[in-house]
Amino acid sequence: MQFINDLDDISKPFKNAVITIGNFDGVHIGHQVLLGRAVEKAGAMDGLSLAMTFEPHPARVLGQNNHLPLITLYEQKAELIERSGIDVLITIPFTREFATITAKQFVGDLLVGKIGIKAIVIGQDYTFGKNREGNAALLKFFSKSFGFEVIVIDWIPASDRIHGRISSTKIRELLMEGNVSEARKLLGRFYQIKGTVVSGQGRGGKVLGFQTANINLQDELCPKTGIYAVTVECDNKKHEGVANIGYSPTFDEHIFTVEVHILDFNENIYGQKIRVNFIQRIRDEIKFSNIPALSKQIEKDVKEAHNILS
């Protein structure tokens, strides 16, 4: 996949360009449908498939939600978009100045003039241009004079248990509730965090009898505090594990940590980057009366995680 992070790097329009545009936070099933349709359409036209996204998230620049926790940071988002088969990823540096571009300028100058689109794939609620003045209807109006096709994809229902369509907002809410199982259905994969293994309090193996990897998170959105059955990707291998997200109430430290006990694993991975996939929530994080009681519960958690993952 070709990466373009500066519009000035586009020297000429792309051949039979088919584009889909969005923030793509999470690159969930709905996004995957848009990306897949762009790839399919470009193939039928002997052209190139393109995805356009924005960095940072427009909501942060425009002050709508300055602290919006992202499901996927840019690196992982780009990785997931690449997996979809897209040929070119254009990342627009989003600024307040860029936000003043009118809908007509965005379509005429950028999409048609600069990129040379022949087709665009959008969702029903797609908006663009200054103050979100553009929508699917206006895009279809412009398409008649500029000569490109507009493909509008129907919303994807969330699930039998969740009302409405798949959206990044719904996934964000599910993860913050700890409902990683339901979030998986909307994402089309397990929710994953990544980070570097760092030194912890040194009590995992010595005090509790269970060695843990403490993670310095790189991601912004972490599931609700509690205990989870997880898989851990390390050195291109996948292992089963139990993750503890929270504040270690038994030790009264009130410091937020993410710790993972990797089952049947005894290697030194300090300083290494690992990925943790959340499979299922086991229980809340609770305060125990003493350390032996906590150790006994961890033993139960390990057995429960093994049953879930086997």
φ/ψ (deg, to 5) at 58: -50, -35
**Of 95, 124, 153, which residue sits at a domain end?**
153
Look-up: residue for tokens 């690449």? 82
Instruction: With H, G, I as helix, E, B as strand and everything else as coil, classify residue 249.
Output: helix
DSSP 205: I
The answer to whether residues 234 and 114 belong to one domain is no
Q: Which CATH number belongs to the domain containing residue 38 in this structure?
A: 3.40.50.620
The answer to whether residues 18 and 132 belong to one domain is yes
Question: pLDDT tens, 1-43?
Answer: 999 999 999 999 999 999 999 999 999 999 999 999 999 999 9
Question: pLDDT tens, 48-104?
Answer: 999 999 999 998 898 766 677 899 999 999 999 999 999 999 999 999 999 999 999
**Of 153, 176, 206, which residue sits at a domain end?**
153
The answer to whether residues 27 and 149 belong to one domain is yes
Query: Does residue 158 sit within a domain?
Result: no
Query: Does residue 170 sit within a domain?
Result: no
The answer to whether residues 144 and 196 belong to one domain is no
- Number of independent structural domains in the chain: 2
Q: State which residues form the domain around 45.
A: 2-153
Residues for the chain: how many in total?
310
Question: What average pLDDT is seen over the chain?
Answer: 91
The continuous run of DSSP H or E covering 137 comes out as helix 136-146
**Of 107, 126, 153, which residue sits at a domain end?**
153
The answer to whether residues 144 and 238 belong to one domain is no
Query: Does residue 262 sit within a domain?
Result: yes
Low-confidence winner among 105-109, 156-160, 200-204, 220-224 (lowest mean pLDDT)? 200-204
Q: Which CATH number belongs to the domain containing residue 250 in this structure?
A: 2.40.30.30
Query: Does residue 256 sit within a domain?
Result: yes
φ/ψ (deg, to 5) at 273: -90, 130
Alpha carbons 156 and 22: distance in angstroms, whole number: 16
Alpha carbons 70 and 222: distance in angstroms, whole number: 10
